[in-house]
Amino acid sequence: MIDFEGQVAIVTGAGRGLGRLYALDLARRGAAVVVNDLGGTMRGEGADATVADQVVDEITRAGGRALASHHSVASPEGGQAIVDAAVDSFGRLDAVVSNAGIFNAIPFQALSADDWRRMLQVHLDGGFYLSQPAYRVMAQQGGYGRFVFISSSAGNFGQPMEAHYAAAKTGLVGLSNVIAIEGAAHGILSNTVLPTGFSRMVTETVGDQNFLEKSGFMRAIRAELVVPLVTFLASRACPVTHCNYSACAGRYARVFVGLGAGWLADAATQPTAETIAEHFDDISATDMFIVPESIVDEVLEVCDRLGISAMPDNAEVAFPTPR
């Protein structure tokens, strides 16, 4: 059995929906859980402390350990306070599920700067404000840590009327990638999950009650089906880092950015826009690809094909490496 005995986890946005289910499963498996939720609306308005408190009550009544946190992730002070609550109350921190977020639908041409900034502030800034102090604690503990960032198919694949949400959620992939690279030296793993689950985000967005009740797809995307993947990635059993996974209606799959073989210009020539047009089919082909682990992989692959060294003359290291 995958258990979290002796471990401490933070789950943000844990008062309702998917976040609540993540927190309950981690607690059921032995984790002491900081249940963080400001208790606002889906659009990020207002606050209600009872939202997090009720989940804590649910966990403690079942014999688990939990603490409510009502801080917002959308400030450095809030992120630090959430991490401090875990360490002060339970003595350590082992896993973070960064799930807090807001949602609204706005056409791109009508999207205001305030709408844009607010969405990034909660999702992307909030992911950073929480993960940096958590990372520092994990690194100081030595040898272990797990981050699971909740991203979205809306960002990775696109969704109409969600430019702000898509940008914020895809930004978390970049954040996770770098935490994975730098965290390797400390035993810290970081991955993302792209969940599709029935929650208030779905009900408030769709709005059509008849469709919600009768759609086969809506019945298939039970929120509980997302939980096993998040729990696994947050656990000691997880062996991977720097990866993205989708959970949709019981189908679990890796989502990745691939780099095609493309077309390589002769080093003795100067390509033009016309040259690009001539070779554009090869440039756009996806039948041969690699999945880079970092920007270094792309550079090394190109250098290998060009027959040149990525190393500068009389230098031992071409690229900075995490310490």
Q: Which residues are catalytic?
A: 165
H helical segments located in the chain: 17-28, 50-61, 76-90, 113-120, 126-141, 153-156, 163-183, 200-206, 209-214, 216-220, 227-233, 273-278, 280-284, 295-306
- Type of residue at 265: A
> CA end-to-end span of the chain, whole Å?
34
Sign of CA dihedral 81, 85, 91, 95: negative
- Type of residue at 10: I
Residue 40 to residue 49: CA distance in whole angstroms: 9
Residue 18: CB partners within 8 Å, gap ≥ 6? 99, 150, 195, 197, 199, 223, 226, 227
Residue 2 to residue 282: CA distance in whole angstroms: 46
Nearest to 44 by CA among 97, 118, 155: 118
Residue 165 to residue 23: CA distance in whole angstroms: 24
- Give one DSSP letter per residue of 228-285, joined into a string: HHHHHHTSTT----SEEEEEETTEEEEE---EE------TTS---HHHHHHTHHHHH-
Residue 312 to residue 292: CA distance in whole angstroms: 22
Residue 139 to residue 133: CA distance in whole angstroms: 10
Sign of CA dihedral 151, 156, 157, 160: positive
